[in-house]
Structure 1
Amino acid sequence: MSRRRYTYPEAAEALRVPERWLRRNINDLPHSRKGNTVTFTDDDLDRIDAMFHHEPAAGPLAVAPSAPSSPAAHPLAALKPLPARR
C-alpha cells in the first residue's frame, strides 16, 4: 500500500496556506524528514488542519450550539473575575 507524500508546495496548496508558513512552523507540525527532504502524508495534513481549525463563534457562519447532554454546571461556572486594579 503506497501512501501519498506531499512536498511543501503540494501541502501548502492542500491546506490553503502559504508555503512560507509551513516552512516557518515546521518544528511544530507533524511531518516526515529523510535527510533534508521534508514530506507530509494525508494523516499529517489532517492533523495540521485539526490543530489550527477554528469555527466561528458568532455571525452568520457560526454553528448553532448544541444543547448540553447533562444538566450539570459548566466546570468554569464558579470562576469570578478579579477586582479592578487601581
Structure 2
Amino acid sequence: MTRRFTYAEAAVVLRVSETWLRRHIKSLPHSKKGRVVTFTAEDLERIDALHHHEPTAGPLSIVSAPRADGPHPMAGLRPLPPRGAAVRTS
C-alpha cells in the first residue's frame, strides 16, 4: 500500500509551512476522502517540480544571457496603436 502523508508530514518533507499547504491545496496534487486530505510520495514530487525554478541569468543559469553584440531580444516589439485607431497589418 502507498504511504500517505498528512498536512503536517507533507509540510516537513517539502520544507514549507502547513498553513501554506492548506492555502494552496486547490492548485496542488492530493487525495481527499471526505474531509481527510493526504499526499502520496508522487504528489510531493509533483509539488516540488511545480515550484522548482532554474536561474535564467548568472553563473548558474542553463541558458546563457543574450550577447551584447546581437540585436536586443525585444527589438521587434512595437507600441500598440492608440485606442480606437484602425489596426494595420503590414
State whether TM-score is above 0.5: yes
Distance in 2, matches of 1:85 and 1:59, equals: 36
The structure with the larger Rg is: 2
Runs of 4+ in structure 1 deviating by more than 4 angstroms, as ranges, are none
Counterparts in 2 of 1:1-86, with a 5 A limit?
2-60=1-59, 62-65=60-63, 80-83=76-79
Task: Check whether the contact 2:55–2:62 (CA below 8 A) recurs between aligned residues.
Answer: no
Contact 2:32–2:38 under 8 Å retained in 1: yes
Please provide the CA RMSD for this pair: 2.6
Deviation at 1:59, TM superposition (A): 3.0
Amino acid at match of 2:54: E
Report % sequence identity. 56
Unpaired segments ≥5 residues, structure 1? 67-76
Query: How many Å separate the matches in 2 of 1:85 and 1:53?
Result: 38
* TM-score, normalising length: structure 1: 0.70
Count how many residue pairs are aligned between Structure 1 and Structure 2.
73
